[in-house]
Amino acid sequence: MTSTKTTPRSATGSVALHGVTKVYGQGEHAVLALDGVSLDVAPGEFVCLVGASGCGKSTLLNLVAGLDRVSGGRIELGDGVNPGLMFQESALFPWLTVEGNVDVPLKLRRLPRAQRRERVAELLRTVHLAEFGRKRPHQLSGGMRQRVALARTLALDTPVLLMDEPFGALDAMTRDILHDELERIWTERKLTVLFVTHNVREAARLADRIILLSSRPGRIIYSTPVDVPRPRRIDSPEIGSIAAEVTGRLRTEVGRHGQ
């Protein structure tokens, strides 16, 4: 129990990777998943990582989340920052209600019961699920489950949010709405977001900056700021032209593996 502070907003939300390398396995079966990735994410910045599947995006998030160890290089986070991680599947605990799920990180931080109840209610309001606290995950739709997962991650009170294709399994309409929601929460809470997707338009819709990773080994091959004012629409021409540019690069990169 290093910190029981409820508002560690003062903790800086910066994320810095210095020459991060990740090798899976050993000997001739070793896979070089990431090769010397260096990246600076400013506090409050929204960065999208784009790349073909298998290029090491999930690996990178796992490393930043501390669920796995780097093989080389280092990762710097603000003092006492434990980033929150969201997955493509909501990874909710099916044996708990919606409230119970959001309560888990609060319990693990040993907050008093009254305070926890208040926080759970507040977080569920934030994701518009106030009336669904007593439901079980299987009674909700995919989009609702992802919002519960978001609330649960926000319950960590961490300034850094890592998202691994969180909307990949949702239909376009739901995804659109969740983009708006995520953008609102990111602004309100001044979060730093590292968002992985293979949907280039989604990246352009959300990001301050898009980073393109090459495949095998994963390296940063392209990076572009998205200077489109918010609020944005995913079907706007500005977003479209940025997406087209990134898609072009991505195709070239994928084509490189064809020869």
Partner 1 sequence: MASDTLADAARADAEISGLDALEIAGRQKTTTRAVTIWASTWPKLAALAIAVGAWQVVVWAEVWPSYSLPGPGTVWQELVRQAGGAQLWDGLATTLRRAAVGYVFSVGVGLLLGLAVARFRVLRAAIGSMITALQTMPSIAWFPLAILLFELSEEAIFFVVVLGAAPSIANGVISGVDYVPPLLQRAGRNLGARGLNLYRYVIAPAALPAIVAGLKQGWAFSWRSLMAGELIVVGISQTSLGAQLTYARELADAPWLLSTMIVILVVGLGVDAAFGAADQAIRRRWGVLDQTGQ
Q: Residues 129, 133, 138, CA angle at the centre, nearest 5°?
A: 90
Between the CA of residue 117 and those of 94, 99, 104, 122, 123, what are the distances in Å?
Answer: 20, 9, 11, 9, 10
Q: What are phi and psi of 77, to 5 degrees?
A: -120, 165
Give, as ranges, the residues between 33 and 62 that touch Mg ion (CB under 5 A).
58
The nearer residue to ligand ADP, 98 or 163, going by C-beta atoms, is 163
Residues 6+ apart with CB under 8 A from 77: 14, 15, 16, 64, 83, 160
33, interface contact from partner 1, Mg ion, ligand ADP, none, CB < 5-8 Å by kind: ligand ADP
What are the φ and ψ backbone dihedral angles of 106, each rounded to 5 degrees?
Answer: -70, -40
Token pair of 225 as six digits: 């700021």
Side by side, the strands of the sheet bearing 46-50 are: 84-86, 160-164, 192-197, 46-50, 209-213, 220-225
- Shortest CA distance to 199 belongs to which of 169, 231, 229, 177? 169
Q: Which of 19, 25, 66, 225 binds ligand ADP (CB under 6 A)?
A: 25
Would you say 15 or 98 has its CB closer to ligand ADP?
15
Closest CB to Mg ion among residues 58, 101:
58
The nearest distance, CB 71 to Mg ion, in angstroms, is 18
Residue 214 binds Mg ion, judged by CB under 5 A: no
Binding to ligand ADP (CB under 6 A) within 57-96 occurs at 57-59
Binder of ligand ADP out of 39, 55, 65, 234 (CB under 6 A): 55
Minimum CB distance to ligand ADP smaller for 61 or for 120: 61
33 backbone dihedrals φ, ψ, rounded to 5°: -85, -45
180 binds, among partner 1, Mg ion, ligand ADP, none (CB under 5 to 8 A by kind): partner 1
Q: Which is nearer to partner 1, 62 or 71 (CB)?
A: 62
Q: How far apart (Å, rounded) are the C-alpha atoms in residues 31 and 19?
A: 17
24 binds, among Mg ion, partner 1, ligand ADP, none (CB under 5 to 8 A by kind): ligand ADP
- 114: CB partners within 8 A, 6+ apart: none
Residues of span 31-50 touching ligand ADP by CB under 6 A: 31, 33
Nearest approach, Cβ of residue 83 and ligand ADP (Å):
16
* Region 58-97 residues binding Mg ion, contact defined as CB under 5 A: 58
Binding site for Mg ion (CB under 5 A): 58
Binding site for ligand ADP (CB under 6 A): 24-25, 31, 33, 51, 53-59
